[in-house]
């Protein structure tokens, strides 16, 4: 089965110059943890809730409050992972899941002709596994 049948095609994205604060809001609003980062229409990175959490400054004292304000105003490009591992719609679903497992990543953007056309996350893989388990039982 190719990934085109299982990928999410309504991909929520963010622009590289958008702020970390906007990325947090977009993730919370959409209920997602992996946010592809675009520059125009080109995929240049991916930012996750973990990336943001690891980059967040300590909240201790007044210095912490100021650091947090500055951090929230930081462009996403400063905290994203550049050149994310991607696949095409023609990749087999199991190969995309294997990419996630081998690289210890939670999502793989799906790109066709240089444009983001979908995404597969660990939750999508678990949904597929659940369907298979339902068939087996």
pLDDT digits (tens, 9 = 90+) for 8-50: 999 999 999 999 999 999 999 999 999 999 999 999 999 998 8
Q: Which is more confident, 111 or 50? A: 111
Assess whether pLDDT exceeds 90 at residue 131. Answer: no
Query: Residue 51 is part of which domain span?
Result: 3-136
Beta carbons within 8 Å of 48's beta carbon, 6+ residues apart:
33, 34, 35, 81, 106, 107
What's the whole-number average pLDDT of the chain? 90
Tally of domains in the chain: 1
Question: pTM of this prediction?
Answer: 0.88
- How far CA 41 is from CA of 82, 83, 113, in Å, comes to 15, 14, 11
Average pLDDT over residues 83-110: 95
pLDDT score, position 76: 96
Give the distance, in angstroms, between the CA of residue 55 and the centroid of all CA atoms in the same chain.
16
- Report the CATH number at residue 100: 3.10.580.10
Assess whether pLDDT exceeds 70 at residue 60. Answer: no
CB-based contact 31:69 (threshold 8 Å): no
- The Cβ-side half-sphere exposure at 38, using a 13 Å CA radius, reads 14
Assess whether pLDDT exceeds 80 at residue 64. Answer: no
Rounded percentage of the chain residues whose pLDDT exceeds 70: 95
Output DSSP code: residue 40: T
């Amino acid at each position: 089965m190719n990934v085109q049948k299982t990928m999410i095609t309504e991909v929520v994205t963010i622009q590289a110059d958008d702020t970390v604060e906007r990325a947090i809001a977009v993730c919370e609003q959409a209920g997602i943890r992996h946010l592809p980062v675009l520059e125009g229409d080109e995929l240049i990175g991916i930012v996750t809730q973990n990336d943001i959490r690891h980059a967040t400054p300590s909240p201790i004292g007044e210095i912490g409050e100021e650091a947090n304000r500055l951090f929230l105003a930081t462009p996403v490009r400063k905290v994203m992972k550049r050149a994310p591992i991607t696949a095409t719609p023609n990749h087999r679903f199991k190969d995309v899941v294997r990419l996630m497992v081998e690289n210890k990543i939670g999502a793989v953007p799906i790109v066709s002709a240089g444009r983001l056309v979908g995404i597969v996350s660990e939750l999508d893989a678990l949904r597929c596994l659940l369907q298979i388990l339902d068939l087996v039982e």
